[in-house]
Structure 1
Amino acid sequence: MAQIGLFSSVLYILFTICFSFIFKKQVWKALLVGSMLTIGIFMPLTLLFFLVGSGITYWMGNKIQSSFPWKGLGIGILIGFLIIYKLKESWIDHINLLEVNFWENTGIWQIVGLSFFVFNAVSYLMDIRRRFIKPADSFFKLMLYLLYFPTLHAGPLHRFSYLNEQFDQANISEKSFSNGMRLILWGLFKNFVLAQRLNQLLISLRESEIAGWWTLLIGFVFFFYLYFSFSSFIDFFQGLSEIFNIQLKDNFHKRVYFSINRHEFWKGWHITLNEWFRDYFFYWLIKWKFWRDKPYLLLLMTYVLIGLWHGFTWAYFFWGFLSGIWILVEKVLKIPKLSEKFSSLKWIGVIYHVFICSALALVFVFSSIEDLWDRILKPAYFPLGIWLLHKRNIFIILFMFLQVDFFHIWSKSLRMNIFFERLPAWQRRVIYIQLFLYILILGMFSDGIENFYLQF
């Protein structure tokens, strides 16, 4: 599990605030310097690659609408490096230096946020090629878009035009600082109190002798762990951005964990990644007659690619393939329309979706399909020691989950910081104290802030 400590985020805020006094009328420059310094201190190889990648992207962006013969060169270089880097796990094990896997045991070799960097760069180049936007008038503006610290670790993915407009208006005010801190507090609560506790339970289940159909319980716990881990990171980094009056996109719909079918789930899960594959892969290819006649095949390929985005392994390939098949079956059987027609049977849909989703989630937990299959084929067994060991932990998880779900229902469609802002002052203070005490008393801090998706 890749980890990012609080210290790097605090350092980023301090760097950016300090430099904002120097660049008073152009705070975007402070954002760039703060991002570069923070990345350079903690991830020097990441900074080096991103500087080179930014240069390639800027150069190709200015060439793409000219008579330059190789208009797809920049996109090819970026996608090619991403593929090579993701393939490393399949071939780097053959390189053995003094019986030590140098790549995996030396953090300097890790490039954090590579997928988000490459996908943002590709969207920038393709938008120029389609004449949706003009090339950036400044290399440093493009660099900020690609190296922006709050979007580097977990996304969300953004179009250049969306962020560039906000960078120009970046500033720090009492209101923006308060908005940012509310989201940071909410993200820390979800991570330390729920995600970390779910992770401890998940580790115990994975290392136990649980077998047979009980194995689905591992997938169930992982599904909820992944939501709280990933969404808490989004909340946290949205908060960092809000401090400087920059609003990052939402990446999850509230209560997406209670989706009643797969279509509804994908509308609210990792939203910006799904939109990227829709806009820059599916819609790009569907224009061609060959694919226009085979939309279901193209849709299946899209989900396979989303699976391979997690890693070039057979497990992720099958996860993407089965996810695509699931969507296609729902389309053929018109499950989404049936869900709308029989809304009173909503909980049947929730159970149906969580059950299959838990089965698919097992791909992310086990090291190989063979390992997973061996566990499932064993006689059904649940080790009662897990319950005795985690009885208090499970009670806290359930109670805190109900707290989060209550806030999601109460806040409706509002982002949490806006919802808190609109409450009476005494209610806000009670909630802040409540969340702070939950973190202080029930939080698990041993692993720092952990984000499963950093490894992708």
Structure 2
Amino acid sequence: MAQIGLFSSVVYLFFALSFSFIFRNHAWKALLISSILTLGIFMPLTLLVFLIGSGIVYQIGMNIPSSFPWKSLGIGILTGFLILYKLKESWIDHLSLLEVNFWEKTGVWQIVGLSFFVFNAISYLIDIKRRFIQPADSFLKLASYLLYFPTLHAGPLHRFTYLSQQFDQAKITERSVTNGMRLILWGLFKNFVIAQRLNQLLISLRGSEIAGWWTLLIGCVFFFYIYFSFSSFIDFFQGVSEIFNIRLKDNFHKRIYFSRNRHEFWKGWHITLNEWFRDYFFYWQIKFKFWRNKPYLLLLVTYMLIGLWHGISWQYLLWGFLNGAWILAEKALQLPKFRHEGLLKQSLSIIYHIAGCSFIALVFIYPTLGDLWDKIQMPYYFPTEIWFLQRRNICIILIMFILVDLYHLWSKEERMDSFLERVSPWKRRLIYGQLVLSILVFGDFSGGLNNYYLAF
């Protein structure tokens, strides 16, 4: 999947730029054709399923105003297919080509971005039913929203009106290209220089004899790897979209890795997914009498569903339950109020949250909860050879992480392209040079540009 993540993105950008010269006044057509061609070349099953799904969603959306419960039928079809796909023992996994697993090596027959497609489609149907929007005036307009290539790899999730309005006004300008390339460079830096090196460290730790509560170190490395991998793809595809003056939503608050409690963390982590569950599940369910007096129970159920979004298993269900229970425990203990306390309390809060994150992250890593418990129950042991084997890698990770954090502090709440546009030209050139040099000298290209969240 690494090759699909990077090479297909370059191909998509090439197609989009090329077709934009043909459809000068209708750039959304160039983006749609480019998405279809790229998916057809690299992920033909994804394209087939999404085209069929888009057709079904379009027809149901047009008929929602009638008395027949079309919205419920559409949601049932979409969620049913998503559940079946996540539950399946993949029949294609056993396909071989010259004794090479075709699925694992190329991902050609994998349905990439199915969760993002389904959730966007459901939000479209519900918004029509709520009369927030009118049905798309053409199938192509809806397809341009549902098949938009930059949002299929890692999101973020968007409402139909948010993207369709930008598609109508999409165009390439000198400023848009500059800002887009800034974000692409920033995303490549975070991925190749930090995320991929964290992944190498994670592989070494998982293959070692580390045991006892030292196992939390694996969870900690995984937590930071997920952040840099996931957010770097958001940066990258925000940059690709920005070239055409399309502004994808942010999915992370800056310095979210230094959250002081779970409530603060979930306000800034995978923001659009949390907003989706809030708007299309929690607020919908709280209207019913059964849930009206049980908001905390509904909150717990919501987080369990967020866990199941990652995969339908007891492992992910427990992960969602632990997140919901953690937030409810903080509410009961009124921990969020400490976020404005002194430096010592804030530092202890950050350590507390990272420790909790490390434990919960282990649920993602070990195949069964029994394996995880057995590992933690073993006598404490840290394999010192890991340090000798990974010391250069660890030093690079720490230095580059500090650098990223300093950039986050310097830019405050601004997105990286806006921040770089604001700083003086000589500072901007120094930053460009540092990012490019870091990628060339310290980048880890051994695993390609690997996006963990393609699995979901």
| Residue-by-residue CA offset, 1:2-29 (whole Å, 9 max, x unaligned) | 6534221111111111111111111110
Matched position secondary structure for 1:136: coil
Q: Which residue number corresponds to residue 28 of structure 2?
A: 28
Letter aligned with residue 287 of structure 2: K
Cα drift, residue 430 of structure 1:
1.1
Cα drift, residue 314 of structure 1:
1.2
CA distance in 2, matches of 1:354, 1:296: 24
Cα drift, residue 401 of structure 1:
0.2
- The reply to whether residue 423 of structure 1 matches residue 423 of structure 2 is yes
Letter aligned with residue 30 of structure 1: A
- The reply to whether residue 56 of structure 1 matches residue 47 of structure 2 is no
Q: Is the 8 A contact 2:219 2:359 kept in 1?
A: yes
Q: Is the 8 A contact 1:93 1:101 kept in 2?
A: no
CA distance in 1, matches of 2:172, 2:405: 31
Q: Which residue number corresponds to residue 237 of structure 1?
A: 237
Q: Which residue number corresponds to residue 351 of structure 1?
A: 351
Q: TM-score, normalised by structure 2?
A: 0.96
Q: Which residue number corresponds to residue 320 of structure 1?
A: 320
CA distance in 2, matches of 1:105, 1:297: 43
Q: Which residue number corresponds to residue 86 of structure 1?
A: 86
| Change over 3 Å in CA distance of 1:342–1:211 after alignment to 2 | same
Q: Which residue number corresponds to residue 214 of structure 1?
A: 214
Cα drift, residue 268 of structure 1:
0.4
Q: Which residue number corresponds to residue 306 of structure 2?
A: 306
Q: Which residue number corresponds to residue 188 of structure 2?
A: 188
Cα drift, residue 335 of structure 1:
1.0
| Change over 3 Å in CA distance of 1:256–1:94 after alignment to 2 | closer
User: Identity percentage over the alignment?
Assistant: 71
Letter aligned with residue 7 of structure 1: F
| Residue-by-residue CA offset, 1:25-61 (whole Å, 9 max, x unaligned) | 1111000001111111000000000000000110011
CA distance in 2, matches of 1:206, 1:157: 32
| Change over 3 Å in CA distance of 1:238–1:133 after alignment to 2 | same
CA distance in 2, matches of 1:5, 1:453: 11
Matched position secondary structure for 1:109: coil
Cα drift, residue 170 of structure 1:
0.2
- The reply to whether residue 378 of structure 1 matches residue 383 of structure 2 is no
Which moves more between the two structures, 237-246 or 329-338?
329-338
CA distance in 2, matches of 1:396, 1:449: 18
Q: Which residue number corresponds to residue 66 of structure 1?
A: 66
Q: Which residue number corresponds to residue 160 of structure 1?
A: 160
Letter aligned with residue 382 of structure 1: F
Matched position secondary structure for 2:108: helix
Pairwise CA RMSD: 1.9
1:405-416 to structure 2, matched below 5 A, reads: 405-416=405-416
CA distance in 2, matches of 1:270, 1:76: 25
Long gaps (5+) in structure 2: none
- The reply to whether residue 120 of structure 1 matches residue 120 of structure 2 is yes
Q: Is the 8 A contact 1:2 1:454 kept in 2?
A: no
Q: Is the 8 A contact 2:60 2:70 kept in 1?
A: no
Matched position secondary structure for 1:449: coil
Which moves more between the two structures, 275-284 or 369-378?
369-378
| Change over 3 Å in CA distance of 1:327–1:161 after alignment to 2 | same
CA distance in 1, matches of 2:104, 2:440: 34
CA distance in 1, matches of 2:4, 2:360: 27
Matched position secondary structure for 1:22: coil
| Change over 3 Å in CA distance of 1:185–1:100 after alignment to 2 | closer
- The reply to whether residue 75 of structure 1 matches residue 75 of structure 2 is yes
Number of residue pairs aligned between Structure 1 and Structure 2 = 455
| Residue-by-residue CA offset, 1:324-359 (whole Å, 9 max, x unaligned) | 100111111111123335565111110110001100
Q: Is the 8 A contact 1:36 1:47 kept in 2?
A: yes
- The reply to whether residue 335 of structure 1 matches residue 348 of structure 2 is no
CA distance in 2, matches of 1:93, 1:209: 34
CA distance in 1, matches of 2:276, 2:167: 22
CA distance in 2, matches of 1:32, 1:113: 16
Cα drift, residue 94 of structure 1:
11
